[in-house]
Amino acid sequence: MDTFYHLGRGILVIVVLYVLAVLMRRRGVLTEEHSSVLAHIVTDLCLPAMIFVTLARRSVRLDQLGPAFVMLGLEITCIALAWVVSVWMGLKRAQQGAVVFCSAFGSSTFLGYPIIMAMFPHKTAALTEAVLISEIGVGYPIFILGPLLAMYFGSEGSDSGFDWSASLAFFRSPVFFALVLGILWGCLKLPGQDNFYLAPLFQVCHVLAAALTPLAILSVGLMFRIPSMRSIFFALALVIVLKLLFKPILAGLCAFLFGFPKLWRDVLVLLAAMPPAILGAVFLKRYGGDASLASTLLLAASLVSSVTLLFVFWLVG
């Protein structure tokens, strides 16, 4: 019951912010063009701050990385499958990007952490494993591959090929520098937020990180259009099958084959069953992909996940 409550509460937050964004757009307070501004703020300011403070305070033990690498493998598998099937379905490149992002990357931080904490309130090992899976198995791929994939799928006007030189922009972006700085900070065990001189820096980063989720959802919500179900049916069906069913079931099977402890298996399955990540639509908006389709798929899949998550966890959890 706690699982359903926390999942429902998280989805309700998404829906409410979506509705607020749509209402503000209808009243003229915000326009769809503002979604690009919000996307820039998220990817160039809030996201780097969140990455840095998350990595700077954490050291990783090698024996805990098994589930994280399984999740990483699942994400790459889902990217490949979604890409191949969407091409076979005859979708345009921009539409392929929406399907790929929604099929591969899950909302492990926004929805995953509250559910894990609710299900395992007295087991710190569960949250520790969830953080490792989320940051290494989900965070790193979407932080690194996300901009590169979004640049590719956003190059709709040039089907002749992808400008790989443009992808190098990621390695000059705030996200990349935050990744490198955060990893080095954590590995070198440099002073953190408890340090008198560094406390203001970390406090600013925490404030910016806290703004990531609402700004990201507002950015995505401004792009939302009520679609014709016929136009998105096959894309949505593919996302549901790959992201909400195939990925968590395969995660449970991999955990069993690798002999992971039951706690690790439960955490891995739950995080794999999360609905699509909000950042996918933000990246697509930032780099010219079909963010409107991604926004629609994200909201629809989030609603469906309230049923599929419980079913999958009952099946393989």
Please write down the long-range contacts of 189-194, taking CB distance under 8 Å and 24 or more positions apart: 189/59, 190/56, 192/56, 192/57, 193/53, 193/57
Q: Which pLDDT belongs to residue 175?
A: 76
pTM of the model: 0.73
pLDDT classification of 71: cutoffs 50, 70, 90: very high
Domain 2-316 -> CATH class: mainly alpha
3-class DSSP state of 58: coil
Q: Which pLDDT belongs to residue 160?
A: 44
* pLDDT > 80? residue 220: no
Answer yes or no: are the C-beta atoms of 175 and 43 closer than 8 Å. Answer: yes
Q: Which of the two residues, 227 and 90, has the higher pLDDT score? A: 90
Using one digit for the tens of pLDDT, what is the confidence trace for 10-69? 667 777 887 888 899 889 888 878 887 887 888 788 878 877 887 787 666 676 678 889
* pLDDT > 50? residue 158: no
Q: Which pLDDT belongs to residue 155?
A: 63
* pLDDT > 60? residue 164: no
Using one digit for the tens of pLDDT, what is the confidence trace for 264-303? 888 899 899 988 988 888 888 878 888 888 888 888 888 8
Mean residue pLDDT across the chain: 81
Using one digit for the tens of pLDDT, what is the confidence trace for 187-197? 888 888 888 88
**Cβ neighbours of residue 51 under 8 Å, at least 6 residues apart?**
139, 143, 175, 178, 179, 182
3-state helix, strand, coil in the chain (%, to 5): 80, 0, 20
* pLDDT > 50? residue 159: no
Would you state the structure tokens that stand for residue 5, as one six-digit string? 């409550």
Amino acid of residue 272: A
Q: Average pLDDT of 94-115?
A: 83
Burial of 130 (0-12, 13-18, 19+ CB in 10 A): buried
**Cβ neighbours of residue 173 under 8 Å, at least 6 residues apart?**
43, 44, 147
Q: Which pLDDT belongs to residue 221?
A: 79
The secondary structure of residue 120, as a DSSP letter, is S
Q: Where are the domains of the chain?
A: 2-316
